[in-house]
Amino acid sequence: MQHDTLRGWLGHLRKTGRIAHIEREVALTHQLAAIAKKLDGHQAAYFSHPKGHDMPVVSGFMSRRSWIAEALDVPESSLLETFRRASERPRACALVSTPSCQEIQIKKQIDLGRILPIPVHSEHDNGAYITAGLVIARNPKTGIQNVSINRLQVQSNDRLGILMLPRHLWAFYKEAESRGEALSIAIVIGVDPLTMLASQAILPIDVDELTVASALHKEPLRVARCITNDIEVPADAEIVIEGKILPQIRALEGPFGEFPKYYSSQEQREVIQVDAITHRTNPIFHTIIPAEMEHLLLGAIPREATILSLLQKSFPGVMDVRLSTGGVCRYHLYVKFKKRREGEPKNVIMGAFAAHYDIKHVVVVDEDVNIHDPTEVEWAVATRFQADRDLVVIHGAQGSLLDPSTTVNAAAIGQTEVPQEQQGISSKVGFDATKPVSYTAHVFTRVKIPGLDEIDLKDYVSSSSVGLDTHLKN
Ligand code: MN
């Protein structure tokens, strides 16, 4: 059964023992994040009593690949294919007029910190951050919506700082600002896992990520118009913050602990003016613990689906891809490839670099290597790779702005304040860890014990150890 509402999914997790219910009062500063982190990948955390609030907080409800596949009601092996199909065939949403996300409407005396239980996550974070807010805006040129998750720092009762990487939301804002206008937005907190995942789809600028969410759901996604602007938001969301990104206004934002498990810098960044907050009766606040599995997988699955699709268009031998956890589900790509001719893996490596600028290290392995097991990939590198002929190095490409090692390049040019256009310069490295297409018998034959796969230990291992005990006594 597909779970296409947040409350339906949480109910399913509860029934199957996958929610840790924290009844005790928990401090919003650090304590809540620390408890959720301890549970990461094992159980979702549901906090009934965040200190000073009646509103519960949930975290980590999509912290395993198998859970996400379960929410979609597909086998884990079909996860990428399912997501890719929805990305390629989006579906219109269904507009409704009396949405549950607007049951309670607050337009006056807005005080973010009093109304919402917004945690402080990591040691050096500059205050409380909304980390699971889907930011929705319309392209000022075309009117088509975009969805992204941006970190949002509480700066006052009714203002939030925002980090926008140079992508779609940023382009909309730049267009609005050049006209001297604010960009209307909605920040949606507390949606189902399918909508969370769709928000991270890698799409052309004028494809609304909500239409991908709609395609992932059994029925078209229900959306509703905001009460103070014309943005359409998921109607069954728990909480919606309505507002606008102000033109010409900047304020200090950061530092904040990000997905690479490092802090990103404090800089002058854009500011959101909050106009209204609407929510369901008895809403649930969602927070993502930075760099934990929920955060990493949200990035990994949509990226893998897009990268696999792009690579397969040029290289039919590409069978599967995996963004490894150690590579923060962004920087390290493993590719399973059916090689037919020498040299092909290097073409695949170059294709992977072109598929997404975050990809820094690529390892191409043969079809007999399990790319979902990092030890197997390391074994392939150890035994099928020679640096003098199998290594691809590209200097000075654009990489991830949040990879701290890219700032070493900045220091190398003797600048502490690096202009924006010079940030994120990164080397790219590819490893062709495939064996030769043809080789002398047994040189590259993987050791195998005949019959291994057919052994069921239950048929052989006794519950008692009479034989051993008898020997040990003598
Ligand atoms: Mn987009």
Per-residue pLDDT 10s for the chain (474 aa) are 888 889 999 999 999 999 999 999 999 999 999 999 999 999 999 999 999 999 999 999 999 999 999 999 999 999 999 999 999 999 999 999 999 999 999 999 999 999 999 999 999 999 999 999 999 999 999 999 999 999 999 999 999 999 999 899 999 999 999 999 999 999 999 999 999 999 999 999 999 999 999 999 999 999 999 999 999 999 999 999 999 999 999 999 999 999 999 998 899 999 999 999 999 999 999 999 999 999 999 999 999 999 999 999 999 999 999 999 999 999 999 999 999 999 999 999 999 999 999 999 999 999 999 999 999 999 999 999 999 999 999 999 999 988 989 876 555 566 667 777 888 899 999 999 999 999 988 899 999 999 999 999 999 998 888 888 888 987
441 Cα to the center of ligand 1, angstroms: 51
Q: Where are the beta strands (DSSP E) in 10-139?
A: 19-26, 44-50, 57-59, 94-95, 104-106, 129-130, 133-138
Q: Which of 375, 349, 368, 331 lies closest to 431, judged by CA?
A: 349
* 87 CA distance to ligand 1 middle (Å): 11
Centre of ligand 1 to C-alpha 202, Å, is: 7
CA 145 to ligand 1 center in whole angstroms: 8
Dist CA 71 CA 79 (whole Å): 10
What is the rounded CA–CA span in Å between residue 148 and residue 125?
21
Instruction: Measure 160 CA to ligand 1 centroid, in angstroms.
Output: 21
Catalogue the E-assigned strands of 254-372: 256-257, 263-264, 267-279, 285-286, 318-323, 332-337, 361-365
> Ligand 1 mean position to 166 CA, how many Å?
11
Query: Where do we find the tokens 């052309």?
Result: 204
- The residue among 262, 268, 272 whose CA lies nearest residue 420 is 268
Instruction: Give me ligand 1 centre to Cα 208, in Å.
Output: 6
How many residues can be counted in the chain?
474
Kindly list the structural domains of the chain, giving each domain's residue range(s) and its CATH number in brackets, ordered by start: 74-287 (2.30.110.10), 315-452 (3.40.1670.10)
Rounded to the nearest whole angstrom, what is the distance from the C-alpha of residue 136 to the centroid of ligand 1? 10
Ligand 1 centroid from CA 157, angstroms: 29
- The CA distance from 251 to 372, in Å, is 42
C-alpha 408/C-alpha 413 separation (Å) is: 9
CA of 195 to the centre of ligand 1 (A): 14
Residue 68 alpha carbon to ligand 1 centre in Å: 21
* Contact in structure between 23 and 301 (CB atoms under 8 Å): no
Quote the pTM value. 0.93
Q: How far does CA 471 lie from the centroid of its chain?
A: 56
Centroid of ligand 1 to alpha carbon of 320 (angstroms): 24
Q: How many Å lie between the centroid of ligand 1 and the Cα of residue 466? A: 66
The per-residue DSSP string of 384-441 comes to: H--HHHHEEEEEEEE--TT-TTHHHHHHHTT-SS--GGGTTEEEEEEEE-PPPSS-ST
Tell me which residues have their CB within 5 A of the ion that is ligand 1: 146, 168
Name the residue type at position 96.
Answer: V
CA dihedral over 392, 393, 396, 397, signed as positive or negative: positive
Q: Letter for the amino acid at 270? A: E
